[in-house]
Amino acid sequence: MGSNAAANHPISMKWVQKAKDNGGILISVDPRYTQTSTKADIYAPLRSGTDIPFLGGMIKYILDNEKYFKDYVVNYTNASFIVGPKFDFQDGLFAGYDPKTRSYDKTFWAFEREQDDRVKRDDTLQDPRCVYQLLKKHYSRYTPELVSSITGTPVPDLLKVYEAYASTGTKDKAGTIMYAMGWTQHTVGVQNIRTMCMIQLLLGNMGIAGGGVNALRGEANVQGSTDQGLLFHILPGYLAYPRANQANMEAYLKAITPKTAEPMSANWPQNLPKYFVSLMKTFWGDKATKENDFGYGWLPKLDAGQNCSWLNLFDAMYEGKIKGFFAWGQNPACSGANAHKVRQALGKLDWLVNLNIFDNETGSFWKGPGIDPKKIKTEVFMLPCAASVEKEGSISNSGRWAQWRYKAVDAPGMAKPDGDILVELFDKIRALYKKDGKFPEPILNLKWDYVDAKGHFDPHNVAKEINGYFLKDVKIGETEYKKGTPVPGFALLQADGSTSSGNWIYSQSYNAAGNNMARRKKDDPTGLGLYPEWSWAWPVNRRIIYNRASTDLNGQPWNPKRALLKWEEGKEVDGKKQPGKWVGDIPDGPWPPMSDTKAGRYPFIMKPDGLASIFGPGLVDGPFPEHYEPLECPVPKNALSSQFTNPTIKIFSGSMDKHLTCDPRFPFVGTTYRVTEHWQTGIMTRWQPWLIEAQPQMFVEMSEELAKLRGIKNGEKVKVSSVRGELEAVAIVTTRFRPFKIGDVTVHEVGMPWCFGWMTPKNGGESVNLLTPNVGDPNTMIPESKAFMVNVTKMEGGA
């Protein structure tokens, strides 16, 4: 659900098939019967944008039928936490909503605390204000009949899915979810995923082998690029980006370092100051000292609440506020929602630097369809770069495995690895700032020695800096470490400037043992497919995060047949009991199990209170997921409440920001997806004869019923349009889309791939993002590319 792994993460199906061979059941929930659905034991259709009702109904089912794993829920989640009396939920809105600012005052959702500041709990789960009871109340409205009338899923199909999946709430069964953009690309995207997290927690499926909430990442190294902080709101290692009202490092560290009154919570984020200071030492080297706040002042600051994410970025560009732009290995002219706005925005730039291995619609936007080059003043630099096999370095997959890869040949012609390009570019910039310029300090003080003896970019050099070093001789515990040696891992990073690390979560990846990312050992001691010595996973090679939750309070695996982790008591030696230890995967910290109420720790070590959140008071749109319709939807109201759409989303209102909901001009739900043969905007794959042969043209899949309605024959060219744009596509008339019965209304849905663009091949078709809306999830601002409204007509303009 929320993904189509067979099409878009094809080799993952090797392991799904193996699970099926071992008796596993595959459930596919998708608006369309997909490649994954063909292998599923259970398929259920649902209208795009209605995942929360679907999953909310499952929560109700799990609670009503007592399918949850009680010991797990009571001990490892915040189900027992008492929520303060200010919390309420009425008719689609949580308490604390301000319609003027379209935001919530989250203090209304705060937990009730004891005198010592620990959260009040009721482990019997009876208190009417405990999370469990509030959860039950919240989802009591999500009856199968009401859910079915929203999602269009027939009630028997809902119950089939609920029954099958809820059966994994026992100790000996595991259930996992593979999700992707089918969940993220919605104005309720984060809450979609949250609902599933809550289900997994209720069923005891987090932290166990075969469990988890598994994001199928979309690009080879999007995991790595996120880890390394290439987003406005985070520094490497997910440290929150500093804000202007955090005037010095102390204020910043205070703001980002959580405290807990819970004695059994590890509250690992209490160590964040060590990681930030170590990061600053990697940024500025010797120039970062205690006296200058380790260079904190050299980092540019965001205003409190300032959001520089993608949709805002292109809005600012469209408004002419952005003059220079690096589109570095990305093709926003085809990947950006509301792509006409993106393409117009590019024309407002003074200069654009585009790096890629092939020509693309972004670097060549100035000669795109409907654009008169004479009117475009933008200077464009197109820099040819190396393909994946023409350079050396690591990339991190969906499982957090950072895998090293090697150079087979040089890049062709003048093309260079991006590492070389960025080193040379910044060298030139620094040379200019050596002479003069505004606020040159951060530019000149940045540690910038990532080259080998010959002056070429050296990925090994960088990898070791990311791992981290001791910057002076130190003694930690009983062990002495020499200046210049790699830190073994992040547990040894310090907040006093004596260590450096470019990214604490990657610390250990390249230490004294060598390049752990390049390992190729196939041993699998647990037999669970962890392969602990194949490459290296963050953090500290832990293969399954929160694995302490896979054991009971005594540290014994819930399921001894799939023992991920097990506590072994120490033996008695000379009358003294030796310390116990965990065997299996790398444990989430060495502390003993929870039954040791002094030294034991709760399993969710990155949560300040050590327990997982069924009630999540930190998101901007509510502590419990609630159904709201997509911004553009086919129905006049939300069947669950008077709150039509997510009340906290930002709605752009410029001339290019059109949207139109429940309107007869655009009567069909449109969705977008990928195909196996192409990748993302297609700018790598559309240039490949074998792949374009296999999937040559833009198409739109529609039901036989819709085709009949519009008089469309299979294989004929049709026009698909939204209020933002239109394009031509070949009609694929199929049984795999069926009309949905939504209440009394028949709703048709169509789907299109987003892998085409005007550049190549000729007659290949345009990007579906010309149709999609630039509205995003309020927590992440990921655009709602999965549910919007379109029209489909024959090319002659009939019907």
24 near other proteins, judged by CB under 8 A: no
Token representation of residue 752: 């299109």
Write the Ramachandran bin of 477: left for phi over 0, alpha for psi from -120 to 50, otherwise beta: left
355 near other proteins, rule: CB under 8 A = yes
Among 46, 463, 487, 493, binds other proteins (CB under 8 A): 463
Q: Binding to other proteins (CB under 8 A): which residues in 767-796?
A: 780-783, 785
Pick one of 165, 628, 679, 788: the residue that binds other proteins (CB under 8 A). 679
The footprint of other proteins on residues 27-46 (CB under 8 A) is 33, 35-39, 43
Read off the tokens for 522: 């196939």
Binding mask 634-673 for other proteins (x = CB under 8 A): ----------------------------------------
Of 62, 692, 768, 787, the residue at the interface with other proteins (CB under 8 A) is 692
From 163-171, 434-442, 612-620, 643-651, give the range in contact with other proteins by CB under 8 A: 434-442
Applying CB under 8 A, does 454 fall inside the site for other proteins?
Answer: no
Q: Which is nearer to other proteins, 398 or 641 (CB)?
A: 398
Residue selected from 443, 528, 606, 660 as contacting other proteins according to rule CB under 8 A: 443
Describe the chain by its helix, strand, coil percentages, rounded to 5.
30, 20, 50
What the block records as the tokens of 502 is: 């470019």
Site for other proteins in 173-202 (CB under 8 A): 185
When asked if residue 465 is in the footprint of other proteins (CB under 8 A), the reply is yes
**298 lines the binding site for other proteins (CB under 8 A):** yes
The nearest distance, CB 503 to other proteins, in angstroms, is 7
Note whether 293 binds other proteins by CB under 8 A. no
By the 8 A CB rule, do 94 and 88 touch?
yes
Contacts of residue 574, Cβ cutoff 8 Å, sequence gap at least 6:
none
Q: Are 330 and 362 in contact (CB under 8 A)?
A: yes
Mark the segment that binds other proteins (CB under 8 A) among 101-109, 132-140, 191-199, 410-418.
410-418
Contact flag: residue 217 with other proteins (CB under 8 A) = yes
Q: In the 3-class helix/strand/coil scheme, how is 264-318 assigned residue by residue?
A: CCCCHHHHHHHHHHHHHHHHHHHHCCCCCHHHHHHCCCECCCCCCCHHHHHHHHH
User: What token pair was written down for 206?
Assistant: 């987090």
Residues 587-606 that bind other proteins (CB under 8 A): none
Question: What does the DSSP assignment read for 666-721?
Answer: S-EEEEEE--TT--TTSTTTTT-HHHHHHS-S-EEEEEHHHHHHHTPPTT-EEEEE
CB of residue 768 vs other proteins: minimum separation in angstroms? 13
The answer to the question of residue 687 lying near other proteins (CB under 8 A) is yes
Give the residue ranges of DSSP H helices in 447-594. Answer: 459-467
Rg (Cα) of the chain, in Å, rounded?
A: 27
In this chain, which of 257, 676, 779, 793 binds other proteins, going by CB under 8 A? 676
Handedness of CA 685, 687, 693, 699 (dihedral sign): positive
Nearer to other proteins, 126 or 448 (CB): 448
Query: What is the CB neighbour count within 10 angstroms for residue 505?
Result: 20
**Pairwise CA distance, residues 386 & 404, whole Å:** 16
Q: Considering beta carbons, is residue 84 or 384 the nearer one to other proteins?
A: 384
Would you count residue 305 as binding other proteins (CB under 8 A)? Answer: no
Question: Which lies closer to other proteins via its Cβ, residue 199 or residue 327?
Answer: 327
In the complex with other proteins, the residue whose CB is nearer, 466 or 792, is: 466
- Nearest approach, Cβ of residue 339 and other proteins (Å): 11
Q: Does 719 bind other proteins (CB under 8 A)?
A: no
Give CB contacts under 8 A, 24+ apart, made by 133-140: 134/83, 134/87, 134/615, 134/624, 135/59, 135/63, 135/79, 135/198, 135/614, 135/615, 135/624, 136/63, 138/89, 138/624, 138/626, 139/56, 139/57, 139/59, 139/60, 139/63, 139/624, 140/60
CB of 318 to other proteins, least distance (A): 12
Residue 279, CA distances (Å) to 228, 276, 393, 494, 600 in order: 11, 5, 20, 11, 30
Among 270, 426, 495, 721, contact with other proteins (rule: CB under 8 A):
426
Q: Does 369 bind other proteins (CB under 8 A)?
A: no
Q: Footprint of other proteins on residues 523-582 (CB under 8 A)?
A: 524, 529, 531, 534
Q: Are 406 and 392 in contact (CB under 8 A)?
A: yes
b (16+ CB within 10 A) / e for 113-149: eeeeeebbbbeebebebbbbbbbbebbebbbbebbbb
| Residue (245 or 595) nearer to other proteins, CB | 245
State the Cα–Cα distance between residues 144 and 150, nearest whole angstrom: 10
Q: Is 89 in the site for other proteins (CB under 8 A)?
A: no
Beta carbon nearer to other proteins, 481 or 699: 699
Query: Under the criterion CB under 8 A, does residue 336 sit at the interface with other proteins?
Result: yes
Of how many residues is the chain composed?
799
Residue 85 binds other proteins, judged by CB under 8 A: no
CB closer to other proteins out of 556 and 676? 676
Between 507 and 643, name the residue whose CB sits nearer to other proteins: 507
Nearer to other proteins, 12 or 556 (CB): 12
Is residue 676 within 8 A of residue 690, CB to CB? The reply is no
- Determine the size of the site formed for other proteins (CB under 8 A): 198
Taking the complex as a whole, the smallest distance from the CB of residue 212 to other proteins amounts, in Å, to 15
Q: Cis before residue 623, ω within 30 degrees of 0?
A: no
Closest to other proteins by CB, 357 vs 549, is 357
Of 101, 115, 438, 797, the one binding other proteins by CB under 8 A: 438
Considering the complex, what minimum distance in angstroms separates the CB of residue 282 from other proteins?
A: 8
Site membership for other proteins, residue 225 (CB under 8 A): yes
Using CB under 8 A, which of the segments 385-393, 541-549, 577-585, 646-654 binds other proteins? Answer: 385-393
Single out the segment in contact with other proteins by CB under 8 A; choices: 146-154, 201-209, 326-334, 557-565: 326-334
Binder to other proteins among 309, 556, 721, 779 (CB under 8 A)?
309
Q: Whole-angstrom Cα distance, residue 549 to residue 637?
A: 41
| 3-state DSSP assignment of residue 144 | helix
Q: Which of residues 103-132 bind other proteins (CB under 8 A)?
A: none
Position 715 contacts other proteins (CB under 8 A): yes
Q: Which of 88, 98, 105, 379 binds other proteins (CB under 8 A)?
A: 379
Residues numbered 469-528 forming contacts with other proteins, rule: CB under 8 A: 502-503, 506, 518, 520, 522, 524
Compute the least distance from the CB of residue 140 to other proteins, in Å: 32
**Rule CB under 8 A: is residue 736 a binding residue for other proteins?**
yes
Which region among 193-201, 378-386, 570-578, 624-632 touches other proteins (by CB under 8 A)? Answer: 378-386
Sign of the CA dihedral 359, 364, 369, 373? negative
Between residue 234 and residue 273, which ones bind other proteins under the rule CB under 8 A?
236, 244-245, 247
End-to-end CA distance of the chain: 34
Written as one letter, the residue type at 753 is: P
Contact 636, 645 (CB under 8 A): no
CA–CA distance, 24 with 14 (Å, rounded to integer): 13
Spatial contact of 287 and 323, defined as CB atoms under 8 Å apart: no
Rounded Cα gap, residues 353 and 660, in angstroms: 35
Among residues 46 and 395, whose Cβ is nearest to other proteins? 395
Q: How many angstroms separate the CA atoms of 307 and 650, rounded?
A: 11
Q: Binding of other proteins at residue 708 (CB under 8 A)?
A: no
Q: Which stretch binds other proteins (CB under 8 A): 114-122, 221-229, 257-265, 589-597?
A: 221-229
Return the residue matching tokens 């059994």. 264
The Cα diameter of the chain in Å comes to 92
| The binder of other proteins chosen from 763, 796, 797, 798 (CB under 8 A) | 763
